[in-house]
Structure 1
Amino acid sequence: MTRTPSLTRRLILDLSYTQLVAVVLAWFMTTILGGFGIIGAYDYWLEDYYSYYRIRDLVSQSIARAADGSLRIEPNDELRAEILRTPMLSYAAFQSMRQPALPGSSEDISAALLGVASVEVRGMDFYFLSAWGQKTAGSVWRWKTPVGPLFIAAGKGKFQWLDILHAFRNELVSQSLYLVAVFSVSSVVAWLAVRRGLAPLRRAAEAAERIDLDSLGQGIRVDDAPIEIRPLVDAVNRALARLDAGVARMRRYTANVAHELRTPVAILRARLENPEERGFRVDLQRDTRRIQTIVEQMLIAARLTEGQAPRDQDVDLSATARGIVADYSPLIYKSRRRIAFEAPDAPVRLRSNRMAIECIIANLIDNALRAEPEGGTVLVRIDADRRVSVIDHGGGVAERDRELIFEPFWRRNESEPGAGLGLAIVKELIDKLGGRVLVETTPGGGATFSVSFPV
């Protein structure tokens, strides 16, 4: 099983390594700039200082121990080559600054350091002074060598660029404990910084953990989310919003199905109460087909909402509306109301989705029947300009409610019948078909719903 990578661990390591590399590089640069005399307290140049470390290493490698245990300097090949390159080179080695230099040391530097015998030193930088006052830099420091700790002195060397690496390596080794401390402190500081920086991400995860189907629309709320994770939070919130919209559509679809089936079931029930009527069997079959048609309409409505239903069917608006009015006749008779139908003699054709149009007209008629007073007449009128008007003579729709009535589940008060879905279905479908729905006041009182379809 592959181990899940840790972003916190990766950031801590990256930050720690970055700080360590920055310290080392800064150290390297200051060493170079100090050698040039640009910064620091040095008043000599590279060739006066950096060659010491390379000469020191060559002298340290050239110290030999005699059979009697005494030490001396026997130049190896590298030291001899350096002497040929720099004839003025001086070097010496001391077991103690209070003792004479080891055999094989240069006489001038050995004599120059005789005056140090009166004090105990760890090391120092100094100058050779010529008879005419010229100064030449030199250094003597105590170092670990293959034969033990010794003071190694060198001066009058000739600089080469490789000396910078020797100097830097010397400083790096001598300050290794400091670098370990820097890396440790950097790791702790990086851990604290990363933990604090990722706190909004943890809070976002906790907020996401609390989301369920009833709180999808709330999204993830992290007010202090940094700009780096804000796109991720926003993307997740947009995904949750799309999911919430999908869930809302499914819930609305379920409610729509129940709403749409209620009316034809009521019609069917009205017929079953009078089985002795003429044409009962035929009417029963027609009602059954109507229920089947409504189920198909709801499926079409769902597909239309998702952009999967055709919108280019050849539809005769008059014939479609006439069929819906005929299907509603038993229910209208049962409710002691009447319905009238007006349409041009010529067919009113348009290209749209037939089942969606049937669903729109059926819902408008159903809404009008609930508003129409007992004994009144609902008028369904088809105009030649592809307009369907359903007119009732009920209480009408107040101006302030003309936008609210198309919201799902909206009702003026709880005492009114219905689930508040019919007009919401009409609005949703007509918007998908590219048409418009308007509500106006019927002359004499009531409401007129007009649906117009695009040419």
Structure 2
Amino acid sequence: MARHGRSLAWQLTLRIVLPQGLIMMAAFLILGYQIHRDSVSYVDPKLVEEVQDSLVPANDGGIALSPTKALRQAMHDYPDLWIVARDEAGHAYRQGTPPASLAPLIDRLDRLAASDIHGSRAPYTDTAAIRLVEWKFRKVHFMMGGASTTSAGGLTTMVADYLTWRLLLPTVLATLIIVPIIVRRSMKSVREVARHADAIDVEKRGAKLADQTVPYEIQPLVRGFNAALTRVSEGYDVRDRFLASAAHELRAPIAILRTRIEAMDPGPERTRLIGDVARLWNLAEQLLDLQRFNGDAAACQRLDLAKLAADTVGDIAPVALESGNDIAFDGPGTPVWVHGDALALSRVLMNLIQNAMMHAGDEGPISVAVNTLGELSVTDEGRGVPLGERDRIFEPFYRTRPSSTGTGLGLHLARQVVERHGGSIDVIDAEHGGACFRVRLPLSAA
């Protein structure tokens, strides 16, 4: 099973979220230390909310206090609790005795915004909270103090709780959503390059990836991949030059050998040697075909597959008959137009017929057929190809029988040529036993 790498988007997200959390925690600690060092005091926020809920409009249009249960308990526990309220129309309410130091603020209370006043020394009698109550038709400003104040630890917890829900959590959630989106959008060009790399055919020289479209940090990887492609292409060029040279060098001695064998007296040995030399000649020519034809349209022409097959069968029929193999051709009677290299495709068919002659047994019949779908088949009545070897026989130098006289290259070269024509080749069981090799080629438009 292939292992999938970790998501870059989530790695970046976590590496951003974790420092954010640590920075926030550090800020809470620093804030708590600062509050503790400065001995800052606040009126208990819960008590402030109770007063805010208890202020109600009076029947005469003024301001009244209808204490909640919690506020009544606080008034009992803190006898010095005081409350002053004033609206913009001049109505006022007073509960308890405010410190004289805050008198100037009380006179202008209706002009003050929500704020907190911190007493500088214990018991913090000057600590007060100013808040705003909004009723249907008016606003009431109130100030209160003389009650419990929060400790440094409690205040720090309150601030942390406030900032966690209003700052840290939204920031983390935004990071979890936004960063993956940004990363995926930024990696769009990388995915395009990956699709391009996946479509590269190493058999076609000069293919490279565009490194200008990917992020700067990934360009070295793309350039390294392109350098590897260049080395592979150079290796293929060296191999192709060697195979072409070897095939050219083989043609002359094979031709001389064929001439000498044909001059021998007729007999079984001469027949076998002629067949072996024909296979060697066809193999050398297929090696040259691979160097000459690379699937480009310029090397192709529109040709009749049925006629090509009929001519090839006619060329090899004397050799097959001399070997004792009957050979028959079945065509559709109408042209089957395909695009391809006539010589290369003819040698593919020649290779398949020679392969059938090797494996069909003495005097075994061989059938060659072409249909209107662009399918060419060669059928024998030999031993057939075992199911587990039907893909391997197209590998170079693989032979179903180690003692076989074949080279193990013919079928491999045949598949290479067919695939460069945009087609496919496979083998199935023949109807009456033996093997049936099928070549499928794309039909040519009129």
Q: Give your verdict on TM over 0.5.
A: no
Band the TM-score falls in, shorter-chain normalisation: 0.3 to 0.5
TM score, norm. by length of structure 2: 0.42
TM score, norm. by length of structure 1: 0.41
The structure whose Rg is larger is 1
